[in-house]
Amino acid sequence: MPAPFPPLSPVPPPDELLTARRRFFSGAPGAEQALALPIIRSWTRCAERGLPVGGRLKAEPLTQGELSIRRERYEALRRRCRPELEALHLSASAAGGIVILTDPTGLVLDTVGSADFADRAAQVALRPGVSWSEADSGTNAIGTALIERRGIEVRGAEHYAEPHGILTCAAAPIHDPFGELVGLLDLSGPSAVPHLHALALVELAVGQVEHRLFEGAFPGRDVVRFHADPSFLGTAREGVLVFEDHRLVAANRPALSLLGLGWDALGARRFSELFEGSLGRPGDARRARTPNGAVMLRLERQAPAPVRMAAVPAVAPPAAPAPAGPSFDAETEQALGRAIRLMNAGVPVLIQGETGSGKEVFARQIHARGPRADRTFAAVNCAALPEGLIESELFGYEDGAFTGARRAGFKGLFREADGGVLFLDEIGDMPLGLQSRLLRVLQEREVTPLGGGKAVKVDFALVCASHRDLKMLVEQGSFRADLYFRIAQYTVTLPPLRSLADREALVERLWRDMAGPGADAPLLSPACREALARHTWPGNFRQLTGVLKVLLALAEPGETVGPEALPADISAADLRSPAQPAATSSLPASQARDPAPGLSGDLGSVTRAAMDAALKECDGNISRAARRLGIHRSTLHRHLASRGH
Ligand SMILES: Nc1ncnc2c1ncn2[C@@H]1O[C@H](COP(=O)(O)OP(=O)(O)OP(=O)(O)O)[C@@H](O)[C@H]1O
């Protein structure tokens, strides 16, 4: 576990630094003596990646639309960081520099500070919408701090790329209470004006942000605050630990540092292993002993959540990485904003679109970004349940209403969704009889459980989805017109992937989100990206993300994945013919529901299916199949061995 405030490393004089640089890049020995270890490690990683030293690195900026999507995704973080950005802004401006907030991949979200320097920084692409990950921009404070997971300063010629030598930057990553990277703060200025305290200031600001991330985040949990010096209690330097059933589930870095622990202690340590005695009563401040000495400790129990959190766990599993958020094109993003506003005004939303186009993902975003986010998201797939069961799932039943009914009865999803969002997926498959009952609930806003009982008032926002054209079902008489008009007051039709304008950028974004920010994250070659962008993707996002997962799982660290790694049906068919425009290529619904065989399901089965397919196409020739998949032969041998071959 790195110390919260690592000591500053002395800056080598410019001549010494330039000599060390020449030595390093010519392969001569002796460069190490003049350079800090993180800088050497980073230069080595960049050189191994083949990044150019002299020229400009290829950091493609996001478009304005893509940037606003990314900013929206990190809106909560941006809000949390605003006071620190303001405070650092004063210091940065005085030194003629700027303050930067990035997402956890190193993509610049915001910059504030000296307009003069901002212009110069923009000349080396240090501006919003550009990735400063080490893989994209070489050694720099942002990318290197994210890899080293600690505060770092990179000054002048310590930058890997020569044009970046005009900068001096200090950056520190922001960790959430589970140890996940959630963003980064950076102070950058001209290299000619050294800012002696830049790293300490950034570290202090990050400590404040991390401390605030605990506020109200652990309803009903035991939060222990402690420090050896009681005057630190209540400040960002205090240790904060969260316990659930006496087991440690979350922490801040000062707490781990005071106890000499790492993030792996989350989920593994109990209160009694860290402090002598019991937890005590909330509000108590008392002296306690830790294996590292005496501390003053205060227990606080955060107020329970105002509502039931059944559908959204209050505490994320400690080790689970934050899932990458969905990627929307600008139009879909706008439709999402409108859907949220309308939902707030009590208007039901209907989502139409081919299979895998992201209808459920969209519905979940309506919930997650709206004011009902802390209430239930109750989802029911009307196509997956037999008629009798949908009814009881939705309406609930009284104690002993029918054979097999639970003794205590069941509230039903209408009532479960009370206060939250009810998502009726595949509503086009709802039987006609049930449609009239649903209509009545929507009109009267009350539910009567099966088996009698009193009608109960309900308040939920309704989002429905279907891959079937509901208007057509109405014309055919299999969907009630009155129900259609009630649920389709605002209809969003999600586009099929093949009709999106900038598919290459989308493929790249999805890949980066999956591969993560590490310097050894595999890359997609331009040819591979192009082939993926040209494919028609009948299974839409589901199919594309499935293929990307396979490519990623089969790629070696740091590898650039080429088109030869693609499944044969994608590389062959689509390199020859461009994607058809949406208007002419829309598949019949029955066909559109079947993604390419072998490319759906969990990652393991998709990977195995890709290996089986390659072996079959290469008549069992392991070397050829391995070449085609872009993997090592041993991977295929292991695969065959696991199948008993
Ligand atoms: N906007 C998106 N960004 C990234 N991935 C997405 C997006 N939309 C969908 N996906 C991926 O595709 C998968 C399928 O999405 P989803 O279940 O929302 O599709 P759907 O339209 O509801 O499909 P179906 O009609 O078959 O139920 C998701 O699990 C997710 O992995």
State the DSSP H helix or E strand holding residue 627, giving kind and residue range, or none if neither: helix 622-629
Q: Give the residue, out of 352, 361, 537, 590, with the most ligand 1 atoms within 8 A of its beta carbon, to mutate for a pocket test.
A: 361
In this predicted structure, what is the pLDDT of residue 493?
95
Q: How far is CA 555 from CA 45, 203, 501, 504, 560, in A?
A: 18, 35, 28, 20, 8
Summarised one tens digit per residue, pLDDT across range 308-342 is: 222 322 223 333 333 457 888 888 988 998 899 88
496 lines ligand 1 (CB under 6 A): no
Summarised one tens digit per residue, pLDDT across range 118-154 is: 777 777 788 888 999 998 899 999 999 999 999 999 9
In this predicted structure, what is the pLDDT of residue 399?
60
Task: Write the residue with the smallest CA distance to atom 24 of ligand 1.
Answer: 355
Say if CB 424 and CB 465 are below 8 A apart. yes
In this predicted structure, what is the pLDDT of residue 360?
94
Q: Separation of 552 CA from ligand 1 center, angstroms?
A: 19
Higher-confidence residue of 161 and 621: namely 161
Task: Write the residue with the smallest CA distance to atom 12 of ligand 1.
Answer: 542
State the DSSP string of 191-206. TTS--TTHHHHHHHHH
Q: Separation of 537 CA from ligand 1 center, angstroms?
A: 13
Helix axis angle for 603-617 and 568-576, nearest 10°, is 70
Which residues have CB under 8 Å from 342's CB, separation 6+?
349, 489, 490
In this predicted structure, what is the pLDDT of residue 643?
63
541 lines ligand 1 (CB under 6 A): yes
151 lines ligand 1 (CB under 6 A): no
Say if CB 64 and CB 81 are below 8 A apart. no
Summarised one tens digit per residue, pLDDT across range 429-465 is: 888 888 888 898 888 888 887 777 788 899 999 999 9
Cβ-in-10-Å burial (0-12, 13-18, 19+) of 350 comes to: buried
Summarised one tens digit per residue, pLDDT across range 272-297 is: 999 987 777 777 678 888 888 888 88
Q: Which residues, in sequence order, are bridge partners of residue 171?
A: 152, 186
Task: Write the residue with the smallest CA distance to atom 5 of ligand 1.
Answer: 326
In this predicted structure, what is the pLDDT of residue 120?
78
Task: Write the residue with the smallest CA distance to atom 26 of ligand 1.
Answer: 355
Cβ-in-10-Å burial (0-12, 13-18, 19+) of 82 comes to: middle
Indicate the average pLDDT of the chain.
80
Nearest-angstrom CA–CA distance, 586 and 598: 22
326 lines ligand 1 (CB under 6 A): yes
Tokens of 622: 């392991």
Say if CB 592 and CB 466 are below 8 A apart. no
Length of the chain measured in residues: 645
Structural domains of the chain, ranges and CATH numbers in brackets: 14-211 (3.30.450.40), 222-301 (3.30.450), 330-493 (3.40.50.300), 497-642 (no CATH)
CA of 363, closest atom in ligand 1 = 18
Q: Separation of 639 CA from ligand 1 center, angstroms?
A: 29
Q: How far is CA 220 from CA 314, 317, 503, in A?
A: 9, 16, 45
Q: What proportion of the chain, given as a percentage, has pLDDT over 90?
A: 30
545 lines ligand 1 (CB under 6 A): yes
Task: Write the residue with the smallest CA distance to atom 29 of ligand 1.
Answer: 542
Residue with tokens 């996940």: 180
Count of CA atoms in the C-beta half-sphere (13 A) of 140: 32
Nearest-angstrom CA–CA distance, 601 and 397: 34
467 lines ligand 1 (CB under 6 A): yes
Give mean pLDDT, residues 583-589.
Answer: 27
Residue with tokens 């009948």: 538
Say if CB 501 and CB 585 are below 8 A apart. no
Nearest-angstrom CA–CA distance, 137 and 102: 14
Which residues have CB under 8 Å from 316's CB, separation 6+?
178
b or e along 425-464 (b: 16 or more beta carbons within 10 Å of the residue's beta carbon)?
bbbbbbeeebbebbbebbeeeebbbbbebeeeebebbbbb
